[in-house]
Structure 1
Amino acid sequence: MTIVDAVAEPLPRAVVDLAAVRHNVAHLTKLIAPATTMLAVKADAYGHGLLPIAEAGLEAGATSLAVLEIPAGLVLRHAGVTVPILAWLHGQDTDWRAGIEADIELGISAAWQLEAIAAAGADRPAIVHLKVDTGLSRNGATREEWPGLVQYALELERQGLVRIRAAWSHLADASIADDEAALAEFRDAVVEAERFGAHFEALHLAASSAGIRMPEARFSFVRFGIAAYGFSPFDDSTGAELGLIPAMRLEAPVTEVHVGGTTHVRLGIGWADGVPTLGIAKTSIQLNGRRCQLLAVEADSMLVDAGAHRVEVGDTAILFGPGTDGEVTAEKYADWAETIADEMVTGVAARVPRVYIN
Structure 2
Amino acid sequence: MNTAPAAARPPRARAEIDLAAVRDNVRALRARAAGAELMAVVKSDGYGHGALPCARAARQAGAAWLGTATPEEALALRAAGDTGPVLAWLWTPGGPWERAIAANIDVSASARWALTEITAAARATGRTARVHLKADTGLGRNGCQPADWPDLLAAARAAEAEGTVRVTGIWSHFACADEPGHPSIAAQLAAYREALDAAERAGLRPEVRHLANSPATLTLPESHYDLVRTGVSVYGLSPSPELGTPQDFGLRPAMTLSADLASVKRVPGGHGVSYGHAYTTPGDTTLALVPVGYADGVPRHASGSGPVLVAGKWRTIAGRVAMDQFVVDLGGDAARAGDEAVLFGPGDRGEPTAEDWARAVGTIGYEIVTRVGARVPRVHVGEVTDGGGQGGGEGVGEAGAGRGARPAQGGRT
Q: Same fold (TM over 0.5)?
A: yes
Shift of 1:240: 2.1
Residue of 197, 206, 214 corresponding to 2:212: 206
Q: What aligned pairs does 1:243-282 form with structure 2 within 5 A after superposition?
A: 243-260=250-267, 261-282=284-305
Aligned to 1:215: 221
Whether the 8 Å contact between 2:302 and 2:317 is mirrored in structure 1 is: no
Q: What aligned pairs does 1:9-158 form with structure 2 within 5 A after superposition?
A: 11-120=12-121, 121-158=124-161
Whether the 8 Å contact between 2:311 and 2:333 is mirrored in structure 1 is: no
Shift of 1:293: 2.4
Cα-to-partner distance string for 1:253-284 (whole Å, 9 max, x where unaligned): 10011213210010110011010122433332
Q: Quick check: 287-296 or 82-91, which moved more?
A: 287-296
- The residue identity in structure 2 corresponding to 1:308 is G
Residue of 182, 198, 204 corresponding to 1:192: 198
| Aligned-partner SS, 2:186 | helix
Shift of 1:104: 0.3
Gaps of 5+ in 1: 1-8
- The residue identity in structure 1 corresponding to 2:245 is T
Cα-to-partner distance string for 1:146-196 (whole Å, 9 max, x where unaligned): 001110011111111000111100011264321111011100111111111
Q: What aligned pairs does 1:302-313 form with structure 2 within 5 A after superposition?
A: 302-313=326-337
TM-score by length of 1: 0.95
Shift of 1:21: 0.6
1:227 and 2:233 matched:
yes
**2-structure distance, mates of 1:306, 1:326:** 17
| Aligned-partner SS, 1:148 | helix
Aligned to 1:347: 371
Whether the 8 Å contact between 2:213 and 2:230 is mirrored in structure 1 is: yes
**1-structure distance, mates of 2:201, 2:82:** 36
Q: Quick check: 213-222 or 259-268, which moved more?
A: 259-268
**2-structure distance, mates of 1:44, 1:152:** 34
Whether the 8 Å contact between 2:175 and 2:184 is mirrored in structure 1 is: yes
Q: Quick check: 311-320 or 282-291, which moved more?
A: 282-291
Whether the 8 Å contact between 1:173 and 1:210 is mirrored in structure 2 is: no
Q: What aligned pairs does 1:257-336 form with structure 2 within 5 A after superposition?
A: 257-260=264-267, 261-296=284-319, 297-336=321-360
**2-structure distance, mates of 1:30, 1:333:** 29
- The residue identity in structure 1 corresponding to 2:257 is L
- Percent identity, please: 43
RMSD: 1.5
Aligned to 1:182: 188
| Aligned-partner SS, 1:307 | coil
Shift of 1:43: 0.6
Shift of 1:234: 2.1
Gaps of 5+ in 2: 1-9, 268-283, 383-413
Whether the 8 Å contact between 1:293 and 1:306 is mirrored in structure 2 is: no
Shift of 1:70: 1.2
Cα-to-partner distance string for 1:219-276 (whole Å, 9 max, x where unaligned): 0010000111111112322212222111000111100112132100101100110101
Q: Quick check: 14-23 or 252-261, which moved more?
A: 252-261
After the TM superposition, which parts of structure 1 deviate over 4 Å for at least 4 consecutive aligned residues?
A: none
- The residue identity in structure 2 corresponding to 1:246 is P
**2-structure distance, mates of 1:89, 1:128:** 13
